[in-house]
Amino acid sequence: MTSSAVVTPIPLDNTTDDPTRRAPLIVGDNDFASVTNAVCGIVEMPRTPPAWWIAFFISVSLTGVLLAMIGYLVTTGIGVWGLQTPVAWGWAIVNFVFWVGIGHAGTLISAILFLLRQKWRTSINRFAEGMTIFAVVCAGIFPGIHVGRVWVAYWLFPIPNQMAMWPQFRSPLLWDVFAVGTYATVSLLFWYMGMIPDLATIRDRARSKIRWFVYGVLSLGWRSSNRHWHRFEMAYLLLAALATPLVLSVHSVVSFDFAVSIVPGWHTTIFPPYFVAGAIFSGFAMVVTLVIPTRKFFHLEEIITLRHLESMAKIMLATGMMVGLAYSTEFFIAWYSGNSYEAFAFVNRAFGPYAWAYWIMVSCNVIVPQLFWVKRLRTNLAVLWGASILINVGMWFERFVIVVSSLSRDFLPSSWGYYRPTVVDVMTFVGSFGLFMTLFLLFVRFLPIVGMAEVKGVMPQAHLREVASQGHGDYHGDILTERGEVRR
Amino acid sequence: MSGDATTRVPETAGGGVYALVADFDKVDVFLEAVARVRDAGFSKWDAHTPFVVHGLDAAMGIRPTGLPFLVFGAGLTGCAVGVGLQWFTNAFDYPFLISGKPLFSLPANIPVAFELTILFSAITALVGMLALNGLPRWSHPLHASRLLKRATDDRFLISIEAADPRFDATRTRELLEAAGALSVETVEV
């Protein structure tokens, strides 16, 4: 048996579909060692690139702004925000839902695409999982500071407190504490577990004592043993199977915050699926926004290929259409239900004082993704990047429209109002991007941003030559018989 | 962690040898070699690979892990804790009447019970995997191996421990070389 060495480099554009063979997932002239070098090379750079320092400086400064705004809020009171009756849920809740939504792509890619055997996930799952965790960190801040007296925020948890009372478990707000808390924990476990073999790779290549020690501790003494891999694979499969319903539940529970209330425009049964589709939509948009500059900057184009980006564009197209369908279904039901408050809430959204926000939302979320029908556009990085940013904007406005337009005009016209954010609201939100980017920049500099062990497993060299799998080979044919022969 | 019996070195191990480590660079040669070692009847041996090689479990004859049962148990525990917590706090310890709703009603308890089921199972999946693997274990004789460093990069290894009853420094080395090893390294204790 001879090796399956790649003789000619695979062309960079792997977006063409040839029905006789599967498209390669890793392009160029790569073998296992070159993948290791490309990914570890980022961590092992002797000097941090100046561009990284500039980005890091800006991000840390913005994080400072976030902390200053939180400090001002805590010492002064919630009145520094634009919250006024009737709109008691303003930007803080909008930002919370926005960030939690972004945090959905990571687990979708790592869990759902794993169960669906979508092997292209391997190049981007680590990256997306990292992004998930940072987004959930940002999300967690907003309800935490929104409670007003942050020093008693522990009342959210079922631990004995000075009131001798327990939390109220029939409230969706408390379900949220458990859903987001579980999601943050499980995402972190999943991310870390997948990283253990890659941290061991960095340990084994370390030239300095400090790097050897730090990555050695983090990799828990991993020695690549197949007896360990066997349980690792099972644990990974179990985590994927657990994280799949979890990721669907988290944004469903977030949507219950609205749907369980009686406010017109919130009290709808479409919210859970609609929120989940929107979350995946925005999460993929954020992955694309971050991955395009990162792969360019660190020269990862052969590992995170054009086809990966194209696949993500297709998912954005699909989820964007689902979101568009949800928008129109809401309108239909508002009319069909015969409920005049519901009908008013939706007409008011599209043509009332917040119509500008509504139409930004529709343009960005429904019209922009239609570009992805055209292959030339979805494989054009500038178009894809620009569209992904617009989708992020649109998804923020979606939450703004839901939260603010419904609250500002509810049942009683005498209490109607117009909500405006304050500078503190805006700076807090901008600051949260600083925190997100700070964590992200530390991640790309110090941790393996591509799951090397998983990428190597989907390369053609990882499989027996006889199998007509073209690098996609699953268990088919790879199993040896008891006598050690390849079973065909 | 003391549970990893395969790493205990008996006093009879000749000349302080801990194991023989052989490396391969091609998956197909490696899988055949693994199957040969398995068929030679070794018990204290292992394969080391940079990623999960499909078919290797069968080639080594590894039996399925019991981890799923552990995780299932943890999931049931999490679910019971979730329902019990809500019953205890809102219906028993401090009856909490909200809008005339029942003190204890399963539909309202499902989200928290579900989340705790997942939380308990997921933590058990990771912790259970590490515990069954005897990790973290930062000090292990095999870490002295020069070849092992490439098992996280691009090499596939077979390690056979001197503690194995069928181990013989010369014949085991010959077996590995005949199976197509690029090199065979002796790892000392």
Instruction: Write out pLDDT tens, residues A393-405.
Output: 999 999 999 999 8
Residue A213 has pLDDT above 80, yes or no: yes
Question: Cβ of A235 and B67 within 8 Å?
Answer: yes
Residue A135 has pLDDT above 90, yes or no: yes
Question: Cβ of A166 and B96 within 8 Å?
Answer: yes
- Name the residue in chain B with its Cα closest to that of A177: B112
Same-domain status, A415 and A464: no
B-proximal residues of A, 262-321, CB under 8 Å = none
| Nearest by Cα to A99 from A432, A450, A479, A460 | A432
Hey, is the C-beta of A462 within 8 angstroms of any chain B C-beta?
yes
> Exposed, middle or buried, B90 (CB in 10 Å: 0-12/13-18/19+)?
buried
What is the spatial distance between Cα A247 and Cα A95, in angstroms, rounded to a whole number? 19
Residue B5: what pLDDT?
43
Question: Cβ of A484 and B32 within 8 Å?
Answer: yes
> How many structural domains does chain A have?
2
Residue A9: what pLDDT?
66
CATH number at residue A86: 1.20.1630.10
For the segment B68-96, the average pLDDT, to the nearest whole number, is: 92
Mutate to test the interface with B, among A39, A238, A260, A459 (most CBs of B within 10 A): A238
Same-domain status, A284 and A380: yes
Residue A440: what pLDDT?
94
Same-domain status, A353 and A283: yes
A-proximal residues of B, 164-183, CB under 8 Å = none
Please list every residue in chain B whose beta carbon sits closer than 8 Å to the beta carbon of residue A248: none
Per-residue pLDDT tens for A238-280? 999 999 999 889 889 989 989 988 888 888 889 999 988 999 8
Same-domain status, A213 and A312: yes
Residue A6 has pLDDT above 50, yes or no: no
Per-residue pLDDT tens for A399-446? 999 999 888 888 888 888 888 899 999 999 999 999 999 999 999 999
Same-domain status, A313 and A421: yes
Residue A197: what pLDDT?
92
Per-residue pLDDT tens for B13-45? 445 888 888 998 888 888 888 888 888 888 888
Residue A27 lies in a domain: no
**pLDDT band for position A147 (cuts 50, 70, 90):** confident
What is the spatial distance between Cα B33 and Cα B24, in angstroms, rounded to a whole number? 9
Residue A196 has pLDDT above 90, yes or no: yes
- Name the residue in chain A with its Cα closest to that of B137: A221
Residue A206 lies in a domain: yes
Residue A149 lies in a domain: yes
Residue A14 lies in a domain: no
Identify the domain containing residue A475 by its residue range: 460-488
Q: Using CB atoms, pick whichever of A32, A166, A480 lies closest to residue B58.
A: A480
Distances (CA, A) of A304 to A161, A452, B54: 50, 12, 23
Same-domain status, A95 and A236: yes
Residue A465: what pLDDT?
58
Hey, is the C-beta of B36 within 8 angstroms of any chain A C-beta?
yes
Same-domain status, A70 and A147: yes
Same-domain status, A229 and A355: yes
Residue A170 lies in a domain: yes
What is the spatial distance between Cα A92 and Cα A149, in angstroms, rounded to a whole number? 15
Same-domain status, A353 and A477: no
Least confident interval from A7-21, A46-60, A120-134, B8-22: B8-22
Residue A174 lies in a domain: yes
Residue A152: what pLDDT?
86
Residue A124 lies in a domain: yes
Residue A344 has pLDDT above 50, yes or no: yes
Residue A299 has pLDDT above 80, yes or no: yes
- The answer to whether A227 and B62 have CB atoms below 8 angstroms apart is yes
Percentage of residues of chain A with pLDDT beyond 90: 41
**Cβ within 8 Å of residue A430, ≥6 positions away:** A62, A65, A66
Residue A215: what pLDDT?
92
Same-domain status, A281 and A312: yes
Residue A420 lies in a domain: yes
For the segment A457-475, the average pLDDT, to the nearest whole number, is: 58
Residue B3 has pLDDT above 60, yes or no: no
Same-domain status, A472 and A371: no
Same-domain status, A52 and A110: yes
Residue A306 has pLDDT above 90, yes or no: no
What is the spatial distance between Cα B101 and Cα B98, in angstroms, rounded to a whole number? 6
Residue A7: what pLDDT?
53
Question: Cβ of B129 and A193 within 8 Å?
Answer: yes
Please list every residue in chain A whose beta carbon sits closer than 8 Å to the beta carbon of residue B4: none
